[in-house]
Structures are given as structure tokens and as C-alpha cells.
Amino acid sequence: MASCTTCGMDRDAATGPCPRCGATPAVAPAPGPSFPPGPSFASPPPGSAPGAFPPPAPVVAPAPNAAPPGWYQVGGTTQWWDGVRWTGGPAPLPVSPFRSVLGLGRATQAALVLACIAAFGSFAAYLHERDLLARVKDHPGTVTVLQARDADDGIRIANLLLVVASLLVLLLLVLWLFRVFKNLHGALRAGHLEHTPGWAVGWWFVPFANLVKPMQVVKEAWVASDPAPEPSQNRSNEGRATPLVGLWWAALLTSRLAGWISNQIKGDAFTDIDQARNAQAWALAGNLLTVLAGVLLIVLIQQVCARQAERAHRIAAWSPQQASVPPYA
């Protein structure tokens, strides 16, 4: 006899629906196939050779005064220190190939020469108009209207050429800086860089920040391209920049300030000759500072190009056996 698990009615068959409630009795599943137990990782499998399954290596915390990763001379042999332990060597890192910055550098220098020539032209135009104003003040009637208009036209043309040349310089300069920092982040292996290739360009166009950051970009480009340190040490950007960087940036900002002061004094029209001559004096100073900034930047570009080429040459010729920096004690 079997009882229905739902209503409790006694019935003869253990299978089939209950005649009272129609419930179907539950059927236990058939047992599945059995499998042998898998290997335990707590101990090696039976019959394995001794040492075939060594225990995992313990995790070693780096010492507080650990030396940075690099090749070091230890007991007459050269070994790689990964910052924690001695290993056979570093894994190769995918880096972008070195691309010479000399071509873009020379193009930027050529544009700077054009800008300097345009600044000299503007300087000559302002100087000529200043002379005309002196003649008008000291000897009235000696300067014709046509001469005054020609002097104004000369200043406009010279300033227009200076603006075009300056825009060309800016375009080529940011392209050159982008390639410089691509090399530093890639093939030249300069570590701990503050600026990426993108921001080496972008900081020139951020208001207020572009009063400081472009100078820092050029400074880092010069310092990080230093060929002197060992390529494996990544300490190339800890040195001091040449004072030419600060002089170039000071001359550039001062030239812009002098031009702004000249425009503020001049306004839309001159009120008297003395005011006009004062405005022209500021414009002349701005032109001379523009030329000075251009010459300094030409020198800086030449130096960075040479330093990057030398660093690339040293990295290509460098081998681990040349490293001789001792590890920490």
C-alpha cells in the first residue's frame, strides 16, 4: 500500500495519479555515473617525480631603500634588478621607433628666420614713421600726406607679414614638440615625464596656462633629451635646463607685453605727436624682443635635435655590460 503525498489517501499503486486529488507522485532521479576524485593541489599526484611540482614562490616585499630597476654589476657579473629581486632580464617593451626631429626642427627654424625678418621690417617701418613724426614736430609742413600714408601702409604690411610668419612658427613648433615627446615616451626611454605628446601641443592653446606651461614643455624636452645618463636608469629628466629656456620665454612674453602697451597708447587715433612717438617706442622694443626670442628658440631647437640624436645613438649602441651603477647596500 502507498499513500498519496498530497491528500494522504491509501492506494494500491505507487505510480500513476491519485484517484482522489489527481496528484502524481514524485519520482527520485536515477543515480548518475561516478567519477574518480580529481588531483589535489595541496600535494603532488602519486608517482610524480620529486620536484616536478615545486611550491609557489613566496611574495617578497621590496626593501624600503630598494634601487630602481636596471642592470647592475654584482660580483663581476651583470644582472637585472627588477626592484624586488634579481632576474634574468626585463621583458621587452613595445616602444615606438625613434624618428628624427631634425627635419621638423629645420622647418621651424626656417619659419623663425622669416619671423625675425618680418620683425626687422616692422622695426624699420616704425622707425621711419617715428622720424616723420619728429620732422612734423620740429619742422611743420615738411611731411606730405602721401608720405604719412606710405609710412602707415608700410607698418600694416610689415605687421601682417609678422603675424603670418608667427602663425607658421606656432604650427611647425607644436608639430616638432609632438614628435620630440613621442620619442621621449618611446624609443628614448625617458621616465617620469610630466607632459604627454598631446599636452605638449595642447598647453599652447589653454588660456592663462599658456603663459607658463609652454615654457615648461620646452624645458622638459631639453632636459629629458639628455644623452648622458644610462638609458636603463630613466633619470634623464632630473637635471637642470639651460638658462636659454628662461631667457627665450621672458623675451617672448615681454615682446607681447610691449606690443599690447603700444596699442593701448595709440588707440584708434593719435591725440598728439608725443603720444604717437611713445607708442612707437614700445612697438620698436617689442620688435627687438621678438627677434631676440626667435634667435634663442632657433638655438634651443638645434640643441634638442642634437641631444635626441645623441641619446638615440647611445641607446642603440648600449649593452647591459656597460652598466656599472651599484645596487643599494
- List, in order, residues 6 or more apart from 53 with CB less than 8 Å away: 44, 45
DSSP letter assigned to residue 72: E
Instruction: Kindly report the number of other CB atoms within 10 A of residue 126's CB atom.
Output: 25
Give the model's pLDDT for residue 160.
96
Does residue 89 belong to any structural domain of this protein? no
User: Tens digit of pLDDT per residue, the chain (329 long)?
Assistant: 567 767 777 766 556 677 777 667 655 555 544 444 444 444 455 555 555 555 555 544 555 556 777 666 666 566 667 777 776 655 444 557 889 999 999 999 999 999 999 999 999 999 999 888 888 888 887 888 888 899 899 999 999 999 999 999 999 999 999 999 999 988 888 878 999 999 999 999 999 999 999 999 999 999 999 887 554 444 445 568 899 999 999 999 999 999 999 988 887 555 678 888 899 999 999 999 999 999 999 999 999 999 999 988 888 776 444 444 333 32
Determine the pLDDT at residue 139: 80
- Does 118 fall in a domain? yes
Bridge partners of 3? Answer: 10
Domain assignment present for 83: no
Measured between alpha carbons, how far apart are the two ends of the chain, in Å?
88
Helix (H) or strand (E) holding 131: helix 102-138
Which residue, chain included where needed, has cell 628662461?
246
Number of domains in the chain: 1
Of 278, 295, 293, 287, give the one whose Cα is nearest residue 259. 287
- Per the DSSP assignment, residues forming a β-bridge with 11 are 2
Residue with cell 628666420: 113
Structural domain contains residue 273: yes
170, part of any domain = yes
Question: What is the per-residue DSSP string for 176-200?
Answer: HHHHHHHHHHTTT---S-S--HHHH
Residue 247 domain boundaries: 102-317
Domain annotation covers residue 243: yes
pLDDT of residue 38: 42
Answer yes or no: is 42 within a domain. no
Q: Grid cell 630598494 — which residue?
A: 66
pLDDT at 159: 95
Is residue 275 one of the residues assigned to a domain?
A: yes
